[in-house]
Amino acid sequence: MTQLDFSFLTWEVLSSFVAKGLWFSIQLTFSAMIGGIVLGTILALMRLSGRWWLERPAAIYVDTLRSIPLVMVILWFFLLIPYIAGPLGAEKTALITFTLFEATYYSEIMRAGIQSVPKGQVFAGYALGMNYKQTMGLVVLPQAFRNMLPVLLTQTIVLFQDTSLVYAIGAYDLLKGFEVAGKNFNRPMETYLVAAVVYFVICFSLSMLVRRLQKKIAIIR
């Protein structure tokens, strides 16, 4: 049985190896969340537009990406993007990939959100003389967004966990930061354990926050 020794993990070690990775994971999560929700909302509107030439491409895009492992999607983009946009490096590639990939999950959430708004709201919008854009932007989407806020945030926690898969293309994220520290001090077991604890603390506290938010929203409605 091997003894665990965590004494090498000082603040200096953490700030020089891990902080950079944590910052990248957070950046990646936030930009993919914002980009994913915007793109996902557009995809959801396309699928609900009632026009086949908008519906079909959106449905194919969403269904295809959702049935492929994220690892494969990351590798595809990593190898394809250099052909299209020139070499971008693992970090930027990860940013593009996660935005495009998570948009499919956010789009399903937004689609359910839009469908949860009663039809009468749309009719009321049109009856007031609003056009499609105004009805969607001022009446339907704000309510859909609010109804789905807890689910969107839960998906963001999943997204944060998924960012650890950039391991496949060697981007320097939170997990990589711990791994590099572990290799440098020849203490891989300790760093993997601490990595697990850090991921757990972040994800668990975020999900507690989402739960509280859910209760708050439920009271107002």
Stretch that binds other proteins, among 38-46, 85-93, 109-117, 194-202 (CB under 8 A): 194-202
**Helix, strand, coil % over all residues of the chain, rounded to 5:** 85, 0, 15
- Reduced to 3 states, what is the DSSP secondary structure of residue 85? helix
Pick the binder of other proteins from 13, 90, 149, 203 (CB under 8 A).
Answer: 203
- Please tell me whether residue 30 binds other proteins under the rule CB under 8 A: no
- Please tell me whether residue 109 binds other proteins under the rule CB under 8 A: no
| Min CB(36)–other proteins separation in Å | 18
- Please tell me whether residue 153 binds other proteins under the rule CB under 8 A: no
CA distance 165 to 98: 10
End-to-end, the C-alpha distance of the chain in Å comes to 56
Stretch that binds other proteins, among 40-48, 85-93, 138-146, 191-199 (CB under 8 A): 191-199
Judged on CB neighbours under 10 Å (0-12, 13-18, 19+), 210 is middle
- Please tell me whether residue 181 binds other proteins under the rule CB under 8 A: no
Closest CA to 165 of 206, 199, 207: 199
Closest CA to 32 of 137, 150, 155: 155
- What part of residues 32-51 is at the interface with other proteins (CB under 8 A)? none
- Please tell me whether residue 100 binds other proteins under the rule CB under 8 A: no
**Residue 48 CB: number of other CB atoms within 10 A?**
16
DSSP, res 169: G
**Residue 176 CB: number of other CB atoms within 10 A?**
22
Pick the binder of other proteins from 162, 172, 177, 187 (CB under 8 A).
Answer: 162
- Please tell me whether residue 175 binds other proteins under the rule CB under 8 A: yes
- Please tell me whether residue 188 binds other proteins under the rule CB under 8 A: yes
- Please tell me whether residue 130 binds other proteins under the rule CB under 8 A: no
Pick the binder of other proteins from 23, 145, 167, 185 (CB under 8 A).
Answer: 167
- Reduced to 3 states, what is the DSSP secondary structure of residue 186? coil
CA distance 9 to 13: 6
- Spell out, one character per residue from 50 to 89, where the chain touches other proteins: x when CB under 8 A holds, - when not: -----------------xxxxxx--xx--x----------
Question: Where does this chain bind other proteins (CB under 8 A)?
Answer: 1-2, 4, 67-72, 75-76, 79, 161-162, 164-165, 167-168, 175, 188-189, 192-193, 195-196, 199-200, 203-204, 207
